[in-house]
Amino acid sequence: MLHLVRGSLVLFQGGNNQSNLAAVCIAHKNMMMLVVIMSLAVFACKGLVQALPFPAPNFNNCNNYEGCCPAPYNGTISEKLYVFDRKLPMRTRPPAHLLDDAYIAKYQRAYRLLKALPDSDPRSWKNQAQLHCAYCDAAFNFDVLTSSGRSSTMRFEVHYGWMFLPWHRFFLYFHERILAKLLGDDDTFALPFWNWDNQSPDLPLANVIPLAFANPMYDNKVQSSLYDERRNRCTKWPNLIDLQGALECANQTLELQTSLRQWNNRLMYTQLVTAAPISRLFFGESYKLGSAPGRGAGTLEVTPHGTVHVWTGDPNGTIPSSDMGILQYAGLDPIFYAHHGNIDRLWKVWKSLPGGNRKDLSQADYLNTQFLFYDENAALVKVQISQALNINNFRSGTHYSHEFQQLLDAPGLVANFFS
Cα separation, 314 vs 311, whole angstroms: 8
Distance CA 174, CA 82 (A): 11
Are 235 and 205 a contacting pair, CB within 8 Å?
no
Residues near 117 by beta carbon (within 8 Å), at least 6 away in sequence? 123, 124, 125, 182
* Residue 305 in the binding site for ligand C2O (CB under 6 A): yes
Residue 70 C-beta: closest distance to ligand C2O, Å: 14
Residue 27 or 308: the one with the smaller Cβ distance to ligand C2O is: 308
Rg, C-alpha atoms of the chain: 21
Stretch 9-68 residues interacting with ligand C2O (CB under 6 A): none
Q: Is residue 268 packed enough to be buried (19+ CB in 10 Å), middle (13-18) or exposed (0-12)?
A: buried
Interface with ligand C2O, residue 126, by CB under 6 A: no
Shortest distance (Å) from residue 418 CB to ligand C2O: 30
Q: Does 159 bind ligand C2O (CB under 6 A)?
A: yes
The footprint of ligand C2O on residues 164-203 (CB under 6 A) is 168
Residues binding ligand C2O: number (CB under 6 A): 9
CB of 132 to ligand C2O, least distance (A): 6
Q: From the list 93, 123, 132, 177, which residue makes contact with ligand C2O (rule: CB under 6 A)?
A: 132
Say how far apart CA 158 and CA 96 lie, in whole Å.
Answer: 26
- 235, 222, 206: which is closest to 338 by C-alpha? 206
Q: Which is nearer to ligand C2O, 50 or 70 (CB)?
A: 70
Instruction: Single out the residue of 2, 330, 338, 372 in contact with ligand C2O (rule: CB under 6 A).
Output: 330
What burial class does residue 293 get, using C-beta atoms within 10 Å of its C-beta: 0-12 exposed, 13-18 middle, 19+ buried?
buried
Residue type, 27: A
Give the per-residue contact string, 338-357, with ligand C2O (x = CB under 6 A; - = no).
--x-----------------
Distance in Å, CB of 171 to ligand C2O, minimum? 8
DSSP 326-366: BTTTGGGSTHHHHHHHHHHHHHHHHHHSSSS-------HHH
Q: Nearer Cβ to ligand C2O, position 93 or 109?
A: 93
To the nearest whole angstrom, how small is the minimum distance from the Cβ of residue 275 to ligand C2O? 19
Give dist(CA 357, CA 377) in Å, integer.
39
| Least distance (Å) between residue 191 CB and ligand C2O | 14
CB of 394 to ligand C2O, least distance (A): 18
Nearer to ligand C2O, 177 or 309 (CB): 309
Chain positions contacting ligand C2O, by CB under 6 A = 132, 136, 159, 168, 305, 309, 327, 330, 340
